[in-house]
Amino acid sequence: MKECNIVIAGVGGQGVLLTAEILGNSALIEGYDVRVSEIHGMAQRGGSVVCDVRIGKRVYAPTIPDGMADIMLGLEPIETLRYLRFTSSKTLIIMNTRLVKPSSVLMGIAKDLSSHDIIQIINRYYNNTVLIDAMDIAIKAGSPIVQNIVMLGALASTNHLPININTLKESIKQLVSPKYLELNIRAFELGVKAGKAYLSSRH
C-alpha cells in the first residue's frame, strides 16, 4: 500500500473525532505511520466538522490535499457534499444517508436539500459507494449515538482499508468507555453487515 487518505465529514456531536482516533490508533497497531488532523474550537455541537486520517509508511502533513482522498467517510450527507473537493471520481464514498437539517434550513434562510437529491449527486459522479441509513441501524444496535461506529463498520466491510477488522474492534475497545463497549461493538458489527449487504445488492 502506498498511502490511504480518509476524510471524515459530519456534524459536531456525531463523533467525527472519535472515529478518526479509532482509525488512527488501528493503523498504529498495524505498524503504519499516521497523521490525524482535527480542528475544533468554535462550538462543541451543531457545526460542520471535518477530520483527515492519513495512513502510510511515512506521512508528513496531517491534512489531505485536494482530490487525493481514497475514502470519504460521510457521517451526514450535506457534510459529505461540503468536502467533495478532497475526493476524485475514484474515491470510495461511504455515506450515511440520514440528513441532519442545518438551522439555516429550519429558519427558512437557506434552501432545503433532500437526502434523495444528495444520493443522486453521489451516484452521478462516483462508482464506488456504500450508502446506508446508519440511524436505523444505530437504533437497532441500541442508540442513535453510535451512527459513527455503524459507518466505521460499513467502511470495514469494503476491502479499501489497510487495516484488519479485528484491529478496528481492538481499537474500539481501547478508546470507548467500557460502559458503552457492547453497544459500540454491536453497532460496528451491524455496520459491517449492512455494508456487505449494500455491496452485494449492487453487484
Partner 1 sequence: MGNEAIARGAIEAGVKVVTTYPGTPSSEIADNLSHVAKDAGIYMEYSTNEIVAVEVAAGASLCGVRSLSCMKHVGLNVASDALITLAYTGVRGGFVIVSADDPGCWSSQNEQDNRYYALLANLPCLEPSNSQEAKDWIVYAFDLSEKFELPILFRTTTRISHALAPVKLGSIRERIDHGEFIPEVKRFVMVPDFARVRHVALINKMESVKEISENSSFNKIIRDEGKIGFVTSGASFNYTMEAIDILGIEASVLKIGMIHPFPEQLVKDFIKGFEEVFVVEELEPYIENAVRSSASSLGSVKINGKLNNFLPRNGELSTSIVTRALAKSLGRPLPRNFISDIPFEEIQKSLPPRPPILCPGCPHRATFYAMKKSMKDIQINCTDIGCYALGIQAPLKIGDLLICMGASVGAACGISKVQERPVVAIVGDSTFFHASIPGLINAVYNNHRIILIVLDNYATAMTGFQPHPGTGITGIGTQGKRVIIEEVVKGCGVEHIEVVDPYNVKQTCDALKRAIEYSGPSVVVARQKCSLLATQEKRRQGLKIIPYRVIEDRCTKCLACIKALGCPAINIFNGTVLIDANICTGCSVCAQVCPYKAIEISRDEADEGM
Where does this chain bind partner 1 (CB under 8 A)? 11-12, 20-21, 24, 28, 33-48, 60-63, 65-68, 78-79, 81-82, 84-90, 101-107, 109-113, 121, 125, 144
Select 24 or 192, whichever has its Cβ closest to partner 1: 24
Q: Three-state secondary structure along 39-90?
A: CCCCCCCCCEEEEEEEEECCCCCCCCCCCCCCEEEECCHHHHHHCHHHCCCC
Select 60 or 203, whichever has its Cβ closest to partner 1: 60
Chain-centre distance of CA 53, in angstroms?
A: 11
> Shortest distance, CB of residue 28 to partner 1, whole angstroms?
6
Select 175 or 197, whichever has its Cβ closest to partner 1: 175
> Shortest distance, CB of residue 101 to partner 1, whole angstroms?
7
**Grid cell for residue 125:** 459522479
68: which residues sit within 8 A by CB, 6+ positions away? 5, 86, 88
Torsion angle, alpha carbons of 53, 172, 15, 193, to 10: 90
Select 137 or 192, whichever has its Cβ closest to partner 1: 137
> Shortest distance, CB of residue 138 to partner 1, whole angstroms?
12
d(CA 69, CA 45): 25
Select 135 or 199, whichever has its Cβ closest to partner 1: 135
Angle at 127 between CA 88 and CA 59, to 5 degrees: 40
> Shortest distance, CB of residue 92 to partner 1, whole angstroms?
13
> Shortest distance, CB of residue 127 to partner 1, whole angstroms?
12
